[in-house]
Amino acid sequence: MNPEDVGLYADAYWLLVLIVALPLAGTILNGFLLDWLGIAMGKKAREVLTSRPVVYGVAIAAVGAAFAIAAYAVFGSLLPSVALVEQDAAAHAHGQTPAASLTMMMWKWIRVGGVDLDAKLLLDPLSAVMILVVTGVSSIIHIYSTGYMAHDPSYRRFFTFMNLFVFFMNILVLGDNMAVMFVGWEGVGLCSYLLIGFWYEDRAKALAGKKAFITNRVGDFGFILGMFLIGTTTGHLDFAGIRENLPMLKAAPGIVVPFVSSIEFFGPVSLVTLACLLLFLGATGKSAQIPLYVWLPDAMAGPTPVSALIHAATMVTAGVYMVARLNFVFNMSPPAMTFVAVVGAITAITAALIGFAQNDIKKVLAYSTVSQLGYMFVAVGTGAYIAAIFHLMTHAFFKACLFLGSGSVIHGMHERQDIREMGELRKMMPHTHWTFAVSVAAISGLPGLSGFFSKDEILWRAFANGNSYLPWAPGFVYMIGIITATMTAFYMGRLYFLTFWGKFRGPAELKAKVHESPLSMTVPLMVLAGLAAVGGYIGVPAALGGTAIPNVFEHWLHPVLMEIPVREALHHSPIEYGLMGLSVLVACASLGLSYYLYGQGPSPLVGRFTTAIHPIYRWVHGKLWVDELYGLIIYRPLGWVAALCHRVFDRFMIDKLMVEGSAWLAYSGGWIASRMHSGKVQRYAGVMAVGIVLILYFIAAPRTEVDVQDQGNNTVRFVAPYASAPYTYAWDFDGDSLDADDEERWALYEQAWTSTPVVLHRYPAPGVYRAVLRVRTPWHFERKRVIEVRVGEPVQEVE
Amino acid sequence: MMEALMEFPKSLSGGLTLSVTIFVIGMMGFLLRRNMLVSLMCVELMMNAANLALITYNRFNPATDAGQVMVIFTIIIAAAEAAVGLAIVINLFKFHGEVRTDRASEMKG
């Protein structure tokens, strides 16, 4: 096969445009085009064109077609390209296989000075995985949404925003440079905001959207700065360009950060580390890590499909994707990577802890998401990028399934979300139950399911990390990781058993009304549960699969992601099996414990335990009071500053000085001018007479500006002024008339009363002379001017 | 007497000096007197001073009769102006019962 046939090495693999453009087309059609068309065609047509079947059809078709095209691009073009590149590498013995990629150069975007940015899309193995996950899960969730939003009057707005989200997410994933990626990055943030606040009549929900948006803004600030830092140092923002110019990044001098650098341990921060930390700040915003995770639990205010799609499966993984994309940059900075891993681990355990004491079914899942994202950052922080992307993918499956399952439960429970009111639902909602069960098992890490493979790989790599900046970090991160795994299994078990087992604890009249969701909701659940169960088999670790089950996933991503290998001593070590056994053990034990405590409804033991540790329980139940802490140290001081600015800038400078000041200026100016309008004709005439006299004087008075040009050879050319009225001129070139008295004066004038304005005079020797010019008008006004003439100085070059 | 008039002005500067003198008298009268009838007469005076300047120039540059033609025009316009002006004065008198210019200040700001 030729490289040209599959689009390799060409800049015009235009199917990529379709993947991006189709969801946008869906947005445009559903957002306004169909409505306009309907308005043009009449009332009946408008009703049809904005009816549910049409809107659902357009939205699902747009995303589904994008998925189909993405699948074709990946399996039809990228796969053969990878094979070609591998053959080529084998033939030429290049060593590491280079990454095959298909690109689409859409247009030249910014070409200013040294900036050279294209609107370009890139499909390589990494973005291939992402685009398949994004469009695939999106398609499933779009189908589910038709059932979930069946009674919502704003279905058009919902599907418009959902398609818009997929559009931006595709841009984020397919962007060939950080700027294009950033467009998607901001776009998904916007859609997240729009969809969290989807039911904006509810003030709390509108505020949750705002919180998400503003928190992300803090992170975006880090992303932008990191991007600029890399861009200005390497001169490139496209990933290939950055990769080629890594030495420049390495050679850049360290930056003295105030306060931090004065601590001997840190010293001047190397530029790579700073860039990585700034980018990681961006990732903490988008991917809900400490310290910016606070928005994600609140984001559950949005419709459940939104929680599943944006706040579990796709958008929140953008930070992980970004770090993995820039793996070659992060690899250069062990301190930054260690920081990422430690922050990820602490986030994982903190979120899991909070998840223990939440009673809202979606809140538990939200904290679980934060916790799992923490795992992904542990993975990228230890250089296990493939494991991170692997966990990202499996997490997308089981967490989407869990969220959609919770949506189904909420739907069946008539908009109730409190798990204390549930129970026994496995009988009323059998399909929701078994899909939920599969996903809980997967996230808990029961062997054979997808979560087991991905999470265990992360834990193993965290333990065996050989590149840590701090010697204690791998052990610390692993410890936290395994504790978190235990906790995850427990609180997921708690959620599951409280929801589906025991006796129904809600109001009795509700029990009869609880119903299984329609097929449009359960079929997506089944598909996702299936993926959650078997999705892990494409990435079975070598320690388990051996040669029988090849690790396809690793082989696929290997060319793009520069993995940090495990410690030499731990290669093929039996410790790996030990750790695996340990995590299976703790998962099973936790699930067993949760069944014991919650299998028949909350056991009395739970109540006794929470009363015994009441202060701690309140602290955990109150989400560790982080929101309150932020309110105290950030929100309130900001409010004071804002109030001060309001008073100084808004009230005083703008309202008083600018608005009222300009009004006062106009008023008083008008008052002064109105005093002149006395209504007395003679006063007007007097002013006019004075004006006319002044004008006449300026017209009649002679002008005396002289242009002196040194011609060389001691000759000077004088160009006297001339006006429309004929002037006459008298010249005294050597200025001797200045000292003479009145009678002698005229004799000393070399030239008296000529009418030619241009005269030449040759001086005897170079030097500085004073010349006198008298100008006379026809009305015998006369004016004298003394000119300083420098003779013999070099003539200035005139361009 | 008649001969003296026929010979006037004897020089350019003499004629212009007389013209300027009359013009300034008219202007000062217009600016300083409050009676509107007098003001009108002062306007006539200024106009005639300009006429005098025109015919003076014409006499000392007799290539064309442009100056004299101009004077005829001016006299005609002055007649029209006098008619309009006197009509305004009569209206002013009907309105205010007097013709002092400083009383007619309804247009003040």
Query: In this complex, do A685 and B104 lie within 8 Å of one another by their Cβ atoms?
Result: no
Task: Please give, one letter per residue, the 3-state secondary structure of A401-455.
Answer: HHHHHHHHHHHHCCCCCEHHHCCCHHHHCHHHHHHHHHHHHHHHCCCCCHHHHHH
**Residue A798: is its pLDDT beyond 70?**
no
C-alpha dist (Å) from residue A189 to A311, A679, A737, B84 = 11, 66, 85, 78
As given in the structure block, the two tokens for residue A241 are 């360009």
State whether residue B77 is helix, strand or coil: helix
CB nearest to A677's CB, from B27, B32, B109: B109
Using the Cβ of A675 and the Cβ atoms of chain B, whether some distance falls under 8 Å is answered with: yes
- Given the structure tokens 């105290």, which residue do they identify? A632
Query: Average pLDDT, stretch A474-494?
Result: 94
Q: Which residues in chain A (430-489) have CB-CB distances under 8 A to chain B?
A: none
Q: What is the pLDDT of residue A97?
A: 65
Task: Please give, one letter per residue, the 3-state secondary structure of A491-535.
Answer: HHHHHHHHHHCCCCCCCHHHHCCCCCCCHHHHHHHHHHHHHHHHH
Contacts (Cβ under 8 Å, ≥6 apart) of A355 = A364, A367, A368, A371, A487, A488, A491
Q: How confident is the model at residue A737 (pLDDT cuts 50, 70, 90)?
A: confident
A371 contacts A484 by C-beta, under 8 angstroms: yes
CB nearest to A689's CB, from B31, B105, B108: B31
| Main-chain dihedrals φ then ψ at residue A695, nearest 5 degrees | -60, -45
Query: Average pLDDT, stretch A425-453?
Result: 92
Closest chain A C-alpha to B85 CA, distance in angstroms: 14
Q: How high is the ipTM of this complex? A: 0.82
Q: How confident is the model at residue A724 (pLDDT cuts 50, 70, 90)?
A: low
Name A768's bridge partners.
A790
As given in the structure block, the two tokens for residue A488 are 């995850």
Query: Average pLDDT, stretch A195-205?
Result: 94
A380 contacts A388 by C-beta, under 8 angstroms: yes
Using the Cβ of A676 and the Cβ atoms of chain B, whether some distance falls under 8 Å is answered with: yes
List CB contacts (< 8 A) between A677 and chain B: 107-109
A208 contacts A298 by C-beta, under 8 angstroms: yes
**Residue A799: is its pLDDT beyond 50?**
no
Q: What is the pLDDT of residue B6?
A: 76
C-alpha dist (Å) from residue A254 to A266, A267, A326, A405 = 11, 9, 20, 50
A789 contacts A772 by C-beta, under 8 angstroms: no
Q: Residue A111 belongs to what H/E stretch?
A: strand A102-112
Transcribe A609-664 into DSSP letters: HHHHTHHHHHHHHTGGGHHHHHIIIIIHHHHHHHHHHIIIIIIIIIIIIIIIHHHH
A537 contacts A403 by C-beta, under 8 angstroms: no
Q: How many CB atoms lie within 10 A of CB A116?
A: 16
pTM score of the predicted model: 0.76
Q: If you average pLDDT over every residue of chain A, what do you get?
A: 89
Q: What is the pLDDT of residue A735?
A: 79
- How many contacts does A have with B, using Cβ atoms within 8 A? 34
Query: Average pLDDT, stretch B71-85?
Result: 93
Query: Average pLDDT, stretch A193-213?
Result: 94
State whether residue B99 is helix, strand or coil: coil
List CB contacts (< 8 A) between A689 and chain B: 27, 31
List CB contacts (< 8 A) between B109 and chain A: 673-679
Average the pLDDT over each of A259-273, A397-411, A766-780 and give the range with the smallest value.
A259-273
Strands A715-719 vs A782-791: parallel, antiparallel or unpaired:
unpaired
Q: Please give the distance of CA B58 from its chain centroid, rounded to a whole number.
A: 19
Q: Which residues in chain B (19-48) have CB-CB distances under 8 A to chain A?
A: 27, 30-32, 34, 39
A399 contacts A288 by C-beta, under 8 angstroms: no
To the nearest 10°, report the CA torsion of A322, A324, A328, A331.
110
